[in-house]
Amino acid sequence: MGVFRKWATFATLAASVSLTALSVGGLSSAASASPAPITVGELLPMSGAEAFVGQWFDHGIKAGIYAVNHSGGVMGHQLTYNLQDTAGDPVDAVTAWHTLQLHHPAFIAGPSSLEIMGVINLFQRAKIVDLMEGGTTQLDHMKDSYIYRVFPSDSALLSAEAYYALHGLSCKRAALIYTSDANAQAEVPPVEAAFKHGGGTIVANESIQAGQSSYLSEVSQAFAKSPKCVFFHADPQTAATLFANVRQLGHMNVHFITGDTGASLQLAQAIGMSTATKWVTGMAAPAAYAPAYKAFLNAYDGQWHTRSPLPASPAMYDAIVIASLAMTMAHSTNPTVWRKDIVKVSNPPGIPVYTYAQGVKLLKEHKKINYQGASGPENFNQYHNVFSSFEVVQFNAKNALHRVYNVSAAQVASMYAPKKK
């Protein structure tokens, strides 16, 4: 029947669903007036050193569920959720993953880069779709057909950091200070390569162990050759000690650049707001499509009663909308059936749609759609990764984020694309 199934088939399936007990994808109901809910699995770091990341993602997921449910649900089924805490640890994530399976989720949202490698092989084995957010470069060329990353890779984000250092700060000499964990250390080669590619020089590369009482030695080494800016990655507790040592040694006079965790108020407060508002910047993906972002804000306000969303939450909102549109298009909650429709509803060509309701309406009219997200295009490449521009953000005196610089997608690409001879 081609890309789009006949809605007569959907009507037949819907009738079958109402008469037959289903056990796939979280549906388990006999005939009833109210269709059984579809369970969204949440696999997130809600505790541990970077628990704020789990909170970001959870807020976006819940906003997405709100948006879908207030637009009629998926084929008449409301979305519900089950949240399991990974503690930000790859080993704990395995236990959380198996616990989550007892609730028969139709798909899983999360985890983050902190724990994805601990469970990455489980999704393909169980044939369950995962829409995760996290920039780890280990997934840049992934071939797992059941995992889709809705947030750009750190390779792109770190290239944006390098571009900002070189062109926004005119910094040609940089030091690196990254915690020794695998997630942080995976960021070092891409940012170093991008900075060097753009003409910069790395004068120091210091690895620090998280949670130590002093980093005076490492700070001394990092500033021994007078860097003009510093790329860093650290959790709030570690950052508090690190920046106290930087101030103690008299080096709090250069810009510190970090990734999306730099949009965390918790990190800024640990560093010290007077320092963060002057010397520290983070990265964020811009709201690429105003209609989609407005819809996101409406759903976020409906769920959380505020129009000031947490960082990174738009991408997980998009993940819920994309999965719901794919299930709607496939007329199925079986991941082996609707998985291939993720790209069909999110990638061009197609009529641009900015809300779940718009997408459902056009799918019912047998039209090809291209969902344009609150977090960006959400167009998946052959490795199930997406790509976007970035905003450099910083907290102001009122503890609110504001944009200080914009790096376009073309400028990001220029940082690691081979130079033409």
Joined tokens for residue 237: 């507790």
The band of 5, judged by pLDDT with boundaries at 50, 70 and 90, is: very low
Q: What is the pLDDT of residue 414?
A: 86
Amino acid in position 348:
P
Q: How confident is the model at residue 15 (pLDDT cuts 50, 70, 90)?
A: very low
According to DSSP, the residues that pair with 49 across neighbouring strands are none
Mean pLDDT along residues 363-367: 97
**Could you tell me the pTM of the whole model?**
0.74
Question: Which pLDDT score is estimated for 298?
Answer: 98
Question: Rounded distance, CA 173 to CA 195, Å?
Answer: 9
Per-residue pLDDT band at 48 (split at 50, 70, 90):
very high
pLDDT at 53: 94
Mean pLDDT for the stretch of residues 31-48: 88
Residue 13 has pLDDT above 90, yes or no: no
Identify the pLDDT of residue 11: 38
Output the DSSP codes for 162-182.
HHIIIIIS---EEEEEEESSH
Of 258, 259, 260, 262, the closest CA to residue 270 belongs to: 262
| CA–CA distances in Å: residue 275 to residues 176, 216, 301, 344 | 18, 18, 31, 46
Q: For the segment 63-107, what is each residue's pLDDT rounded down to a tens digit?
A: 999 999 999 999 999 999 999 999 999 999 999 999 999 999 999
- Which of the four pLDDT bands, split at 50, 70 and 90, describes residue 33? low
Is residue 332 over pLDDT 60?
yes
Q: Assign 3-state DSSP to the chain and report helix, strand, coil percentages, each to 5.
A: 45, 15, 40
- In this predicted model, which residue has the larger pLDDT, 324 or 135? 324
Residue 147 has pLDDT above 90, yes or no: yes
CA–CA gap between residue 415 and residue 61 (Å, rounded): 32
Interval 187-237: pLDDT, tens: 999 999 999 999 999 999 999 999 999 999 999 999 999 999 999 999 999
What's the Cα-to-Cα distance from 367 to each of 3, 201, 351, 370, 374, rounded to whole Å?
9, 51, 8, 10, 22
How confident is the model over 22-38, as a mean pLDDT? 57
How far from each other are the two terminal CA atoms of the chain, in whole angstroms? 49
Q: Is the pLDDT of residue 177 over 80?
A: yes
pLDDT at 87: 97
DSSP state of 394: E
- The gap from C-alpha 141 to its chain's centroid, in whole angstroms, comes to 17
CA torsion, ordered 240, 246, 248, 251, to nearest 10 deg:
-150
